[in-house]
Chain A
């Protein structure tokens, strides 16, 4: 479904990704783990079109998307939940959800979608007229996920959704990621919390200093002695 092939990404002269390749099949939950600053967010930003690769290609459902603008990529069916949620703080919860359905494909069905979203996240229904800036960190993360679901994506990318959340909320987020898989979404998840992320993953990548250094199924990660000590704390 998604084919990131051998991409190089730079911030000015600083190389953030070096010949990175990622493959995702339809319906899979794929995770990318790695330390802070390894390039995990850059990978998602590049797929979302917010950053352009200098080399390599990105294909989604058979179409090249690496030269497309970010807003076209959303229309194409990829939606990003950025780090920290990044909801629009001065817009109400309702307007944030409505922005989620801004792309042409999502607009006509936004009305039917909304009750489903509120069923998934009852707290957002209660706070629908509140400004998003007044929500708690966990609620913002919920809103960010809900907002990206409003876009009718086929691939949903989550950037460190558990970062800075209370343990109970972290569990909720991971439960939710599991349920997204059951609903047929393809998920690309980027996490520092490797233990929890590996439990929900079909396939995983390890990234260090902009390079993919290991990939495999969750079991392969559990067996690898280096990963065990460095990332899983076992």
Chain B
């Protein structure tokens, strides 16, 4: 039993890394464009299908197919900004929310039309690593390491480049950012492209772990949303920490009882946080 819980703990941490990536994308978009990307999990689903098609139908080598999938999702991000967000930048919040929520329906049904309702996946045999009584799936380990490395690069991008500085400035004070010579439209496109590419990357990490179907994204949209709000909307560090908390709690609870109970526990924690600290773990008021 002890080994099982320890293994669940490790899996939770490994999964937390990927969730942190997902939370980062959602947080970045919210922080900069001030819009909640309601279809973020559906983007992961779409990225998964892209990689699947590139590899299975077009016979592109898997790693290249993943790279193409990530690039395609970056492009989808740009299109989202161009076609959905730009026209609604000055619209009431509710309209923005509804437009992005309706993207869920569009993307899910599009996936159903193109790929059908069957579960699809790329069969891969990834080795299992053993430490004494502890077994770790290498696919989880790779996803974790990849996620942490990516987050590190994103940190450097935000803190060491002019473009990253522009993104942070727009997130804090849009009008002053314009007054500093920053073109917010460019920043928005780059943000949505980064967010889109991140959803593609998460999909690539999921390829050896899951199979995909048109409603695959729904649980990740919810998960990403819970993590981001739990950690403090728009706070990148808060999202990072809460991804690991949620990852560990769900993973350990799933071993102790079942996956369904794990989801309930995660959502109860979320509700608890909203009652005690509505601004989230590291969020600031207002």
Contact = CB atoms under 8 A, between A and B. Distances in A.
Interface of A: 48-50, 69-71, 74-75, 79-80, 82, 86, 88-91, 95, 98-100, 102-104, 106-107, 147, 151
A98 B180 CA distance: 10
Nearest to A105: B181
Q: Which of the four size classes fits the interface of chain B?
A: 10 to 19
A9 to B, nearest CB: 16
B180 A100 contact: yes
A147 B182 CA distance: 14
Interface in B158-182: 162, 165-166, 168-169, 172-173, 175-182
A147 B179 CA distance: 11
A48 B173 CA distance: 16
Contacts of B166: 99, 102
B176 A71 contact: no
A68 B166 CA distance: 20
Contact of B181 (A50, A74, A86, A91): A74
B4 interface: no
B112 interface: no
Given A88-B176, A90-B168, A103-B180, 5 more contacts: A71-B184, A91-B168, A91-B169, A99-B166, A102-B182
Contact of A69 (B162, B177, B178): B178
Given A88-B169, A91-B169, A107-B162, A102 B181 contact: yes
Interface string B175-205: 1111111111000000000000000000000
A82 B181 contact: no
A88 B173 CA distance: 7
Interface string B219-247: 00000000000000000000000000000
Given A102-B162, A102-B165, A89 B172 contact: yes
Contacts of A107: 162
15 contacts: A48-B179, A70-B178, A70-B179, A71-B178, A71-B183, A82-B176, A86-B173, A88-B176, A90-B168, A91-B168, A95-B168, A98-B162, A102-B165, A104-B181, A147-B180
B158 to A, nearest CB: 11
Given A86-B173, A90-B172, A107-B162, A102 B180 contact: yes
Nearest to B169: A99
A91 B183 CA distance: 19
Given A91-B168, A95-B165, A102-B166, A75 B181 contact: yes
Contacts of B172: 88-91
A74 B165 contact: no
B233 to A, nearest CB: 15
A74 B180 contact: yes
Contacts of B181: 71, 74-75, 102-104, 106, 151
B117 to A, nearest CB: 46
Nearest to B173: A88
Given A91-B168, A91-B169, A99 B180 contact: yes
A83 to B, nearest CB: 11
A69 B183 contact: yes
A99 B183 CA distance: 12
10 closest residue pairs by CB, A with B: A103-B181, A74-B181, A70-B178, A71-B183, A102-B181, A88-B172, A71-B181, A99-B180, A99-B169, A86-B176
Contacts of A70: 175, 178-179
A151 B165 contact: no
Nearest to A92: B159
Contacts of B178: 49-50, 69-71
Contacts of B168: 88, 90-91, 95
Given A102-B165, A107-B162, A151 B180 contact: yes
Nearest to A95: B165
A102 B175 CA distance: 14
A106 B181 CA distance: 10
A98 B165 CA distance: 8
Contacts of B173: 86, 88
B176 A74 contact: no
Contacts of A74: 179-181
A155 B240 CA distance: 43
Nearest to B162: A102
Given A88-B173, A91-B172, A71 B165 contact: no
B162 A82 contact: no
A170 B168 CA distance: 31
